[in-house]
C-alpha cells in the first residue's frame, strides 16, 4: 500500500473502485434481507455514526498532511537561509579558501534545487550521492583554514557550514515524515464499512444508479487530496523551492 500512496491519482482510482464495490455489496445484502420496521431507526443511527467517524478521520488525516506539507516548506526556507548566510560568511576565510567554498556552495545549491524538483528515483539517488560528496568537500574547505588559523572569525564560517548540513538533514527528515500506513488502513476500512452500510440502507427499487456513486466519489476525492498533499514528489501539490532559486539567482548575479 505504501507504493500506491506515492501515486495519488492511482490511489484515488483504486479507492473509487473498492468503495463502489462496497456500496454494491451493501445493495446486494439489502436485496437478500430487508430491515424490519423496528430495526430501521437503529440502523440509521449506526450508519450516521459510522459516516461521522469517517468524516472525523478524514479531517484529522487531512490536518496531518497539511502540517507535514507546512513543515517541508519551512525546511526549504531554513535551508535557503542557511546557504545564503554561509555564502556571506565564507568571506571571513582567506581569499583562496573563500573562493573555493563559494564555488562549492553554488554547486551544492544546484543539487538542493534538483532535490526538490526531480521525480525520477534514479536521478534522486544521483543527487544524493553528489550532495554527500559536496558536503565532504565543503567541510574540508572550511575545516582546513580553521585548523590552520583557529580564530573566532573563522569559526563563524565553520558554524555556518554546520547549519547548512543540519538544515539538509532536517529537510530529509521532513520528507520521510509521511502519514503512517496504519492510519491509512484504518481510514480505508472505515470507508468500506460506511459504503456497505450506505448501500444497505438504500432501497433497490427506488435507488437511482448514479446516487450510489455519490459517497464513493466524495470519499475518493478526499483520499486523493490527502494523498496528493502527503506525496513529496508525484503529486500535483508540491514544494516549489522558490527560496533556494532566489538565493541561486542572487549568488550568480554577484
Q: Which of 40-44, 50-54, 91-95 has the lowest mean pLDDT?
A: 40-44
Range of the domain at 144: 4-253
How would residue 113 be classed by pLDDT, with cut points 50, 70 and 90?
very high
Residues 141 and 97: beta-carbon distance below 8 Å: yes
The reported pTM is 0.85
Q: How many CB atoms lie within 10 A of CB 152?
A: 7
Q: What are phi and psi of 178, to 5 degrees?
A: -105, 170
pLDDT number for residue 206: 55
Scan for cell 544521483, then name that residue.
Answer: 126
- Alpha-carbon distance 242 to 81, whole Å? 12
- Alpha-carbon distance 48 to 44, whole Å? 6
Scan for cell 563559494, then name that residue.
Answer: 102
DSSP class of residue 144 equals H
- Alpha-carbon distance 44 to 33, whole Å? 16
45-59 residue pLDDT tens: 888 899 899 999 999
Residues 84 and 121: beta-carbon distance below 8 Å: no
The total domain count for the chain is 1
174-208 residue pLDDT tens: 999 999 998 899 999 999 999 998 887 776 555 56
Kindly tell me the sign of the dihedral angle through the C-alpha atoms of 56, 58, 62, 64. Answer: positive
Amino acid at each position: 500500500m505504501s507504493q500506491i500512496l506515492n501515486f495519488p491519482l492511482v490511489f484515488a482510482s483504486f479507492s473509487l473502485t473498492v468503495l463502489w464495490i462496497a456500496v454494491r455489496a451493501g445493495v446486494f445484502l439489502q436485496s437478500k434481507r430487508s430491515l424490519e420496521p423496528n430495526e430501521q431507526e437503529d440502523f440509521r443511527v449506526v450508519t450516521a455514526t459510522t459516516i461521522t467517524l469517517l468524516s472525523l478521520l478524514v479531517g484529522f488525516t487531512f490536518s496531518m498532511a497539511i502540517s507535514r506539507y507546512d513543515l517541508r516548506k519551512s525546511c526549504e526556507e531554513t535551508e535557503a537561509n542557511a546557504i545564503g548566510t554561509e555564502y556571506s560568511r565564507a568571506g571571513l576565510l582567506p581569499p583562496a579558501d573563500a573562493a573555493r567554498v563559494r564555488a562549492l556552495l553554488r554547486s551544492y545549491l544546484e543539487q538542493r534545487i534538483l532535490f526538490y524538483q526531480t521525480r525520477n528515483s534514479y536521478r534522486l539517488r544521483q543527487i544524493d550521492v553528489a550532495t554527500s560528496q559536496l558536503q565532504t568537500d565543503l567541510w574540508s574547505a572550511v575545516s582546513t583554514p580553521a585548523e590552520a588559523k583557529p580564530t573566532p572569525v573563522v569559526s563563524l564560517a565553520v558554524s555556518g557550514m554546520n547549519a547548512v548540513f543540519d538544515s539538509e538533514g532536517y529537510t530529509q527528515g521532513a520528507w520521510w515524515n509521511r502519514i503512517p500506513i496504519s492510519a491509512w488502513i484504518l481510514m480505508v476500512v472505515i470507508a468500506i464499512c460506511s459504503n456497505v452500510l450506505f448501500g444497505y440502507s438504500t432501497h433497490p427499487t427506488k435507488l437511482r444508479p448514479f446516487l450510489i456513486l455519490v459517497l464513493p466519489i466524495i470519499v475518493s476525492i478526499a483520499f486523493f487530496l490527502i494523498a496528493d498533499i502527503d506525496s513529496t514528489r508525484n503529486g500535483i501539490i508540491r514544494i516549489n523551492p522558490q527560496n533556494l532559486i532566489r538565493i541561486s539567482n542572487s549568488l550568480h548575479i554577484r
